């Protein structure tokens, strides 16, 4: 929101995309899943959350404006409403494109006592990024998160749908090397897992 009013300027905002200008990217599989989801609820508004997960998977882990617009279009809701929902929840990545793997470091009480901060500092130094940032090679995004509900394994980190802990520096070195060599995105995998949870057994398409 840096474009403040300019005196004497036109102060025109870009127009919201028109439906016919959208470049729809949902795969056939995604469309089938969405159609199945619509049968679960009395109205389409209820599909917004799972549809956003589908979009997060289809758009490679990041919900761009186009992704939000596509969800809005497919559910016949307003763009703003979809964006409002997506930006409310922290697990939808709406701020900027994320890396292939999202490393989420728990810094809540138990992890903190068991040394989460040195772990976080080590990761920041090793990856060369701060919290909320993505490495320049686009592999890792580092995040600080609240309690992950696995205090017995503190200090704990989450990558995609996997918990790792207790972690130490050597463990992290190994893990980062392994993740770097994995071509598949664990962010997309997590999104897919969540979509599958929303679907009934018969509707799953694997």
Return the residues of window 68-107 that contact another protein according to CB under 8 A. Answer: 68-69, 72, 77-84, 87-88
The reply on whether position 2 binds another protein by CB under 8 A is yes
The reply on whether position 65 binds another protein by CB under 8 A is yes
Q: Which of 155, 91, 90, 149 has its CA nearest to residue 120?
A: 155
Nearer to another protein, 80 or 197 (CB): 80
Nearer to another protein, 94 or 134 (CB): 94
The reply on whether position 183 binds another protein by CB under 8 A is no
Nearer to another protein, 40 or 96 (CB): 96
Residue corresponding to tokens 């809701």? 77
Q: How far is the CB of 73 from another protein (least distance, A)?
A: 12
Number of residues that bind another protein (CB under 8 A): 26
CB 166 within 8 A of CB 155: yes
If one counts every other C-beta atom within 10 angstroms of the C-beta of residue 200, the result is 10
H/E stretch holding 134 reads strand 133-134
Q: How far is the CB of 5 from another protein (least distance, A)?
A: 4
Q: How far is the CB of 116 from another protein (least distance, A)?
A: 23
Q: In the set 16, 128, 130, 138, which binds another protein (CB under 8 A)? A: 16
Cα distances (angstroms) measured from residue 68 to each of 37, 40, 94: 17, 21, 9
Q: How far is the CB of 114 from another protein (least distance, A)?
A: 28
Q: Which two tokens stand for residue 17?
A: 């995309």
Q: Bridge partners of 103?
A: 142, 159
Q: Which of 135, 109, 126 has its CA nearest to residue 171?
A: 126
Q: In the set 5, 8, 21, 181, which binds another protein (CB under 8 A)? A: 5
Nearer to another protein, 16 or 130 (CB): 16
H/E stretch holding 102 reads strand 101-106
Nearer to another protein, 16 or 118 (CB): 16
| Angstrom distance (rounded) from CA 41 to CA 24 | 24
The reply on whether position 27 binds another protein by CB under 8 A is no
The reply on whether position 146 binds another protein by CB under 8 A is no
């Amino acid at each position: 929101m840096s474009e403040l009013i300019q005196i004497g300027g036109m102060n025109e905002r870009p127009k919201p995309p028109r439906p016919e200008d959208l470049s729809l990217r949902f795969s056939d599989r995604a469309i089938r899943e969405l159609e199945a989801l619509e049968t679960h609820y009395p109205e389409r508004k209820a599909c917004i959350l799972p549809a956003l997960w589908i979009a997060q998977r289809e758009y490679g882990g990041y919900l761009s404006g186009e992704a939000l617009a596509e969800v809005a279009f497919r559910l016949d809701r307003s763009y703003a409403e979809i964006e409002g929902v997506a930006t409310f929840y922290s697990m939808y990545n709406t701020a900027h494109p994320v890396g292939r793997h999202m490393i989420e470091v728990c810094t809540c009480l138990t992890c903190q006592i068991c040394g989460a901060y040195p772990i976080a500092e080590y990761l920041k130094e090793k990856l060369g990024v701060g919290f909320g940032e993505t490495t320049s090679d686009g592999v890792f995004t580092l995040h600080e998160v609240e309690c992950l509900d696995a205090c017995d394994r503190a200090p704990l980190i989450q990558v995609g749908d996997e918990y790792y802990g207790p972690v130490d520096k050597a463990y992290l070195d190994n893990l980062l090397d392994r993740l770097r060599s994995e071509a598949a995105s664990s962010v997309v995998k997590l999104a897919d897992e969540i979509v599958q949870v929303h679907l009934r057994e018969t509707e799953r398409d694997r």
